[in-house]
Amino acid sequence: MAAGTVLALLYAPGITVAQERDAAYVSANCANCHGPQGRAAGAVPSLAGLPSRYIVEQMQAFKAGTRPATIMHQLAKGYTDAQIELMAGYFSSLPKP
């Protein structure tokens, strides 16, 4: 399957920013790997409780290709800066695992 197809599946169009439920909604795409509420069980890092700024910086680094990754460089490209800010705020607000 082409990477573009994966991105098309993961990218949820029509999301508006600045509402709490949107943050949870857009972040739901991350739960497959990072676990429910950002608490991962396996080798994938947990996101819950990480500083918002750190999450934004990592996502931008994945997007720009400056942080090497197995999958996140592909995923990060599917999100706007506003969506990344929204998700970062959401995950940082959750209790650390």
Question: Is residue 22 within 8 Å of 12, Cβ to Cβ?
Answer: no
14 — alpha (psi -120 to 50), left (phi > 0) or beta?
left
33 binds ligand HEC (CB under 6 A): yes
d(CA 25, CA 48) in angstroms, rounded, equals: 15
Neighbours of 18 (CB within 10 A): 9
23 binds ligand HEC (CB under 6 A): no
Shortest gap between Cβ of 16 and ligand HEC (angstroms)? 17
Q: Which of 64, 71, 82, 96 binds ligand HEC (CB under 6 A)?
A: 71
Dmax (CA) for the chain in angstroms is 36
CB closer to ligand HEC out of 71 and 82: 71
Q: Which of 12, 15, 44, 94 binds ligand HEC (CB under 6 A)?
A: 44
User: What is the identity of the amino acid at 54?
Assistant: Y
29 binds ligand HEC (CB under 6 A): yes
Q: Residue numbers of the site for ligand HEC (CB under 6 A)?
A: 29-30, 32-34, 44-45, 47, 55, 58-59, 69-72, 75, 79, 87
